[in-house]
Structure 1
C-alpha cells in the first residue's frame, strides 16, 4: 500500500510526496474531512523490506553511451533517498510510487548469489565485466543486514570474474578484504560518487547517503589497499552543485582517485516533477534558475533522453561544463575517457552438478 500522498518534507527522506506512478489508472489527492486531519502530523515513515523473487540476476543493455553491457542490481528501490535518482520511475513496475515509496518500500534479491553462479555456469556464457550498482546503490543502508552485495562479490571473487562497482556509500570499505586481492589481477574497479562537498545540501538532496568526508575517506581507503578507484561527479546540478566540480576533483585526487567522470542531472518521467517539488520546498530562490539551466541543455525541455545527450546535455552551458571538467582533470592528474581494462582471461566457469569428463 502506497504512503499517503500529502506533500510534506520528512526528515531523512528526499521526496516531498508520493505521487502515483505513470502506469496507475487512478489518482488520489488529500481532502480536508472537516476535522482538521490535513493539519495533523503524519506518522513516521518506516522502511519496509521484502524479498524480490528474481528469476535472473544479470541485466544486459546495448546502450551506446554506457561503458558496460552487463550489470547487477542487488536491490530495487533505495533508502538513500536521493531526490535526483533516475531509477525512481522503475518502482512503477511494481505498482509503487517513484516518490516516498521508492525510499521506503525496498526489495532485496534473496537468491542473488545462487542465481549468479548459475548464470556464470551456462556453457555459452561470455565473460564480460559486470557493473554492480548501475541502477540503485549496492551499499545502501539495508546492505548491513542483508549483505546481498557482499554475496555477489564473493561469487565473482571465487570464479575470478571482472567487475566494477559504483556507490556513494562508505560501506564499501567493509569489502576491501575481497576487493584488494582481485585488484592485484585487474579484476575490479571501484567508483565513488561525490555530488557535493556541502554537508548541509547533502542532508536534503541525498539524505541517507554517507557524508562527503566519509566518501573521500572511502576513496583513500580503497586507494591505500591498491584498489583502482575513480570519482564520479554525479549528478552535476546547475546552480546547486556545478560550482563545486573543480573542488570535488581536487579533493578526490588528493584522496587517491586515479580517474574521473561526470554526469549531468537527468530528469526522466516522474523524476522531473519530484525534483521541481523538492526545489520549491528546499531551494525556492534558486528553483527557476536551476530549471532554466536544465532546459537550456535539453532544447527547451526538462530532459532529453536521446543517447549521447541524456548524460551530458548540449549547448553552451554543457560545453563550458565539459571544458571545465577536462581542464580540472588535467590539473589534478585524473584520467578521463579511458575505459579501465578488466582482465577477462582469468575467469573460471563454475561447474554445477555432474559434468561429462573429457576423453583427452
Structure 2
C-alpha cells in the first residue's frame, strides 16, 4: 500500500482520530439528551447555557479533527478478483475494464446522492466527478489484484465526499445478502445508484469474477467484503426488484433534537410531534451546528423504496436544508 499520510505518522493519526471521534460522539449524545429536555422546558436558562458550552466544545473538536485530516492524502481500496480470467497475476483486458468502469460509475453516483440527495437527476457535475475520481495505482500478487485510490479532500469538519462515499458503499455491500437488508439500507440511495449496484453485481457474475474489496479507514479500522460467485448471484437477484417508488421534498417546522456530523445523522421533531430520523446531505452539514437544540425549519426529502416482488415498502428521510423560521 502506498503512503496515505503526509507530515504525520499513521499510528499517531489513527490514535488522535479515534480519541477525537470518541469525544465528539460523547458530546453529540449529551447535546441530544439536553435538547430533548430543553424542548419540554424551553425556559431552563441553565440547561440552555450548558448546551451552548457543549456546542462550543463540539465545534473545537471538529476543528481539531479537520487539522489531523489535512494530512490524509488519499483513500486506498484494494480489489482482488479470482476466476479463470484472472489467473497467473493477469486479467482479461475487456473483462477488467468493464468491471472497473461500472465500479467508477457506482462510486460517482453514491457521491452525487450523499451530496445532493437521492432524487438528484441529470449529469454528474464536473466537481463531483473530480472528487469521486478513482485512480489505478498498482497491481499486486493474487489471482489478480489492484490498488485504487481516491483523493481524500477533507473539509472543515474533517470529513469528505470520498470518505462518506466509501463508508456508504461498504456499509451497503453486506446488506445485499437479503431482500430485507437491501430494502432497509437502500432508502437514501438514488435510483441511479441502485441501478449501478445491480450492474456491478451482474458484471461480476457475467465475468465469473469473485471479488474481495478492502479499505482501511483513517482511524485504522478496516472495511472488507468478499463474495463467492454464489453470493454474487444472490445479491444480484435480491436487488433486482428494488426500485425507488416515490420521493418528495417537504418543509417542516420543529426542533432539531439530535444531529451527528460524524455519522451524518439527524433527529428532527416536528411541531405536530412527528419524528424524522435519517441522513444529512453533505451540503447541509455546515448548517447543523447553528441549529442544534433549536426551533427551526427543515427541508426533508421523503423517499419510498419498494420491493416489487414482495410489495414491501421502506420510507427514508434525508435532511437537505435547515433554516430559521420566518
Question: Under a length normalisation based on structure 2, what TM-score does the superposition of the two structures give?
Answer: 0.22
Question: Under a length normalisation based on structure 1, what TM-score does the superposition of the two structures give?
Answer: 0.21
